[in-house]
Structure 1
């Protein structure tokens, strides 16, 4: 039931935005009675906190795949693919949801003390990948992988943030990735 409700919340969020995400919208989308949500969660913000954390944990497989890509292909290609997959998902919609709901932010702060969960986790994923590439000698030994990761995540978010428009073209995004990492990549 939890997964059914989470999937319904994701559909409402992606289709209608954070202001439309209500307990009634979720239960209607899931095809269940409104009381079902409240039987499984203390209140709607508790539901939303669990939803956000569930979607963050879904990034674990993507992080593992990116880590496995270290030493293969091109660094820019690996990063472009990972960021495109990340921001083509519900991740972009979670940011305004967290920003929009004070109660949700307060609940998330109990488990996630800083940042927006999906973006913070993505930055950790990118930094870990870049550190692995640095260990392999494919990027400069003195590269600040955390700053590069935050720069890539911030830039990707700015490119993808407008949910009403089409995603940026792959070439435009690849250009940004190459610009950010260009000074540290070794031939």
Structure 2
């Protein structure tokens, strides 16, 4: 990149490059040099915008967590429409076909990143914690609408759905999903006895 050329949305450009590398090549290929090369920018650009590579990765994780928040609003808005199982199956597919599985692996593998996220107030496993909250809020809305049993333990159901969803998607190539029928079967099985 020539000196003096203004970069627009450089943070997002770098985040998108990192996401492509994670999905294509995995976390071991994710380096500052790889990110800047993928983004098509000079090597020093990343370090002009972030204190170090872990600071960059922490901001990447927080940015992708914000996307889970957007998905949560859409899922909660779907309460009362369609079927509960279909809504949840779609939400799990959207979540786990995104960068979520790769982010979990990245956070697990990098001690410095985990420490930085915890210091900033992150609890649990980033992305999975927010996804669990998303599912819990949706199940609560459906319970309030009478589509789930009034005594449904939505916290446990959300943990089961996120844990099972992560296991189903984690062993697959990034961006690929199991058959939709398999996901719906898992969701329906978890919800047995609470659907109305």
- Tell me the TM-score range normalised by the shorter chain: over 0.9
- Please tell me whether the aligned partners of residues 69 and 130 of structure 2 are also in contact (alpha carbons under 8 angstroms): no
Residue matched to 1:159: 168
Q: What SS does the aligned partner of 1:137 have?
A: coil
The Cα of 1:180 is off from its aligned counterpart by 0.3
Q: 1:169 aligns with which of 142, 165, 179?
A: 179
CA displacement, residues 25-82 of structure 1 (integer Å, 9 cap, x when unaligned): 0000001111100000000000000000001101222111111111111000000011
SS of 1:146's equivalent? Answer: helix
In structure 2, stretches of 5+ residues that fail to align are 1-9
SS in 2 for 1:46: helix
1:138 lines up with 2:147 in the alignment = yes
CA contact (8 A) 2:93 2:177 kept: no
Aligned mates of 1:163, 1:3 — CA distance in 2: 26
| Equivalent position of 1:147 in the other structure | 156
Q: Which moved more, 1:54-63 or 1:117-126?
A: 54-63
Match of 1:71 among 66, 80, 84: 80
- Once residues 149 and 85 of structure 2 are traced to their aligned partners in structure 1, the CA distance between those partners, rounded to angstroms, is 14
Tell me which residue corresponds to 1:84: 93
Paired residues in the alignment total 186
Higher relative helix content: 1
Matched, 1:13 2:22: yes
Structure 1: which 5+ runs fail to align?
A: none
CA distance in 1, matches of 2:17, 2:172: 18
Q: TM-score, normalised by structure 2?
A: 0.92
Deviation at 1:167, TM superposition (A): 2.2
Counterpart-to-counterpart distance in 2, 1:71 and 1:113: 31
| C-alpha deviation, 1:163, in angstroms | 3.9
Aligned to 1:180: 190
